[in-house]
Amino acid sequence: LPSREQERGIALPELPEGEWDVPLGLGSGAAGLFGTTGGVMEAALRTAYEIVTKAAAAAPHLSEVRGMDGIKEASVQLVPAEGSRFAELVAARLKGSAEAAAAASVAAGGAASAAAAGQGAIQWDGGQGFSREDGKGGLTLRVAVANGLGNAKKLITKMQSGEAKFDFVEIMSASPAPPTSRCAAAKRQAALYDLDERPALRRSHENPAVGQIYAEFLGEPLSHRAHELLHTHYVAGGVEEKDEKK
C-alpha cells in the first residue's frame, strides 16, 4: 500500500481526516493480530473459549503463541458451560467406549509403520479430555503455530510420526516481504500487540459489524452459506473447481 501511494503521489499525512465505511472502519484488537504470526490462532481462541465456556478468559492474550520463535506450542483448557451441547460432547468424549478404543488401537497399529517413518496421514485422537476434582470435565486444546514453511514441515513431520499431537495448527507463510531485519520485524510485531491493547473490543465476535453480516446475510456461524463463502480447502495446483449448477 505505501508503494502504491508513492507511485500515485499520494501524501497520506496531508489528506483530510475522514471516516471509514462500515465494516472496514470498525475493528477489534483481535483483527489487528492477524498481521503477525500466531495472531489468527490467538484471535480464534478468544472467541472459541467464550463460546464454549460462556465466560471470558481472565486474560484475552495467549502469550505462548506470541513472539518470533519458529514453532510455538501451547495448551488451553476448556470447561464447557453446564447443559450446553459442548458439555454433552465432552462428556461423551470422556466416557468413550471399549469398541471405539479398540478401533482406534487397530487403526493406529495399521498406520504404525508409516507413522514411524514420518509419512502418511496425521492421526488425530479427537482431543485430550480431563476430569477436575469437582467432577466437571473438559478438553485440553493442544495448539501450535509454525512461522514459515520450513518450520511447518518440521511440525508436520512430528505430527505424522506421532511425536506430537495438536488439535489446532496455524501456519504463517505470507508472500515474500521486502528484506528486513529480525529486529525490525520484532518491532512491527510489538506494535500490533500494542494496537490490540487499545480498542474496547478485544474479541472478533464482539464486533457489531460481524454480528450484522451474520444476522442479515450469512446466518449462523458454520451455516451452509458461511461455509461456502468463508471456508477454503486444499486443492493440488491451487485451483478449486466450483459446481456451476449451484
Residues 6+ apart with CB under 8 A from 107: 123
Mean pLDDT of 182-195: 82
Retrieve residue 19's grid coordinates. Answer: 471516516
What pLDDT does 24 receive? 64
Give DSSP secondary structure letters for 1-38.
Answer: -HHHHHHTT--GGGSPP--PPTTTT---HHHHGGGSTT
Domain positions in the chain are 19-230
Q: Which of 188, 174, 185, 127 is nearest to 146 (CA)?
A: 174
What pLDDT does 77 receive? 85
- Residues 157 and 134: their CA atoms lie apart, in Å, by 38
Inform me whether the pLDDT recorded for 99 exceeds 50: no
Q: What is the average pLDDT value for the chain, to the nearest integer?
A: 78
Mean pLDDT of 64-73: 89
- Residues 194 and 187: their CA atoms lie apart, in Å, by 10
- Indicate the range of 4-13, 141-150, 191-200, 214-223 predicted with least confidence: 191-200
What pLDDT does 59 receive? 66
Q: For the domain covering 19-230, report its CATH number.
A: 3.40.950.10
Inform me whether the pLDDT recorded for 128 exceeds 80: no
